[in-house]
């Protein structure tokens, strides 16, 4: 159970990532050119994991912009503020 309601289990899994392309993304922190990736379930998991979508900046910094997973997990995160250290 992803909420920690069960004891620990170990499972060796590789990471499977798809690149879905470039997109213009708007989050509370602003509008950004972004790369869209998707982490997909690893074959052999006891229960398939829903795909996790991630967007990061396409400016060479790879800053996380937003990401989420649907299905039974229903989790979503989004960048709400970005400080670049300037005046």
The 10s digit of each residue's pLDDT in 21-55 is 999 999 999 999 999 999 887 666 667 778 899 99
Domain assignment of residue 6, yes or no: no
Domain assignment of residue 63, yes or no: yes
| Overall domain count for the chain | 1
pTM of the model: 0.76
Residue 61 confidence (pLDDT): 94
Judge whether 51 and 45 are in contact, CB under 8 Å.
no
Domain assignment of residue 20, yes or no: yes
Domain assignment of residue 86, yes or no: no
| Per-residue pLDDT tens digits for 46-83 | 677 788 999 999 999 999 999 998 877 788 999 999 98
Task: Give the tokens for residue 79.
Answer: 């960048």
Residue 35 confidence (pLDDT): 98
Domain that residue 39 falls in: 16-78
Domain assignment of residue 67, yes or no: yes
Domain assignment of residue 40, yes or no: yes
């Amino acid at each position: 159970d992803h909420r920690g309601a069960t004891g620990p289990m170990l499972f060796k899994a590789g990471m499977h990532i798809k690149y879905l392309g470039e997109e213009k993304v708007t989050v509370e922190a602003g509008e950004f050119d972004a790369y869209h990736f998707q982490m997909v379930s690893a074959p052999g998991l006891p229960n398939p994991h829903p795909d996790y979508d991630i967007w990061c900046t396409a400016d060479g910094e790879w800053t996380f912009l937003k990401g989420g997973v649907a299905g039974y997990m229903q989790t979503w995160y989004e960048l709400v503020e970005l400080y670049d250290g300037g005046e």
